[in-house]
Amino acid sequence: MVRGAGTWLDGFAKLREFHAEHGHCVVEKQKDRTLYKWIIQQRKERRQDRLSAERIEKLDNLGFEWAGTREANQEVLWDLNFNRLSRYCEEHGLGKLKELSEYDKVLATWASNQRKINNRGMLREDRKQRLVSIGFDFGKTRKNRPQKISSSQQERWERMYQRLLGFKKEYGHVDVPYYYEKDKALALWVTTQRREYKSKSWYGDDRSIRDDRKSRLEDVGFVW
C-alpha cells in the first residue's frame, strides 16, 4: 500500500470524490500527490496480477485509465475538456463564451490556453478542427495583428535604411560586409534584418520581419 494513502477503500473513496467533481480519473501529480501515488500503485498491482477482480471492476466503473502514460492522460484530459466546452456551447450558445469563467473557471482557463497554443502555431490540426466545428473563437493571431512599433524604433529603422541607401550610392550595391569597419552599426543592422527574415514567427510560416520593410529592402536589391 502506498504510504499516506490509507486503506484501499480510503484511496478509492478519494478517487470517487475526485471523479464526482471532475468527471474523470486523470489525477495530476501536482494537484494531489497522495492520490496520484495511489493510482500509480493500482496500475502496478494490476500489471503484477496482484489486484483483485472486484477492485478492478470498481475502478473500471469509474472509467479508470489503466495505460497511465503522460500522453494518454493528456489526450483524455483534452477530450474531457472539449466535451465539457461543447456541452456548454450547446446549452448557453456561442455568444456566452465570454461568461465561461463565471460558469467554470477551470474550463475557461483551458479554453484560453487553446487560443494561446493556436496563436503560437502549436495547436494540433485535429484539435483545432474539432474546436472550429463547435464555433470556437480563436481571436486574432499575431499574424493578423499589426506589429506595435514605437515611433523611436521606426525612426531608427528609417535612419539605418537611409545609411544603407548611402552605402549603395557609394558602392553600387547593398551587400554590406559582416565586418564593415567604416560603419559597424550598419553592418549589425543588416545582419539583424536577415535574421528577422530567416526567423519564422511563433505562429507558423510567416516571417518575423514586417512585410513593408521586407519590400523596401528588396526594392534596393537586398539579398537575404
77-113 per-position pLDDT tens digit? 788 889 888 988 888 776 556 677 777 887 888 888 8
CA–CA separation, 90 vs 73, rounded Å? 26
141, 119 Cβ separation under 8 angstroms: yes
pLDDT of amino acid 81: 84
The residue ranges of the chain whose pLDDT is under 70 are 1-6, 68-73, 94-98, 140-149, 199-208
Nearest to 199 by CA among 191, 207, 189, 190: 207
Q: In angstroms, how far is the first alpha carbon of the chain from the final one? A: 64
Residues 144-153 have pLDDT tens digits of 444 566 788 8
pLDDT of amino acid 3: 43
User: Is pTM, for the whole model, over 0.85?
Assistant: no
Task: Give every CB contact of residue 130 below 8 A, 6+ residues apart in sequence.
Answer: 82
pLDDT of amino acid 1: 42
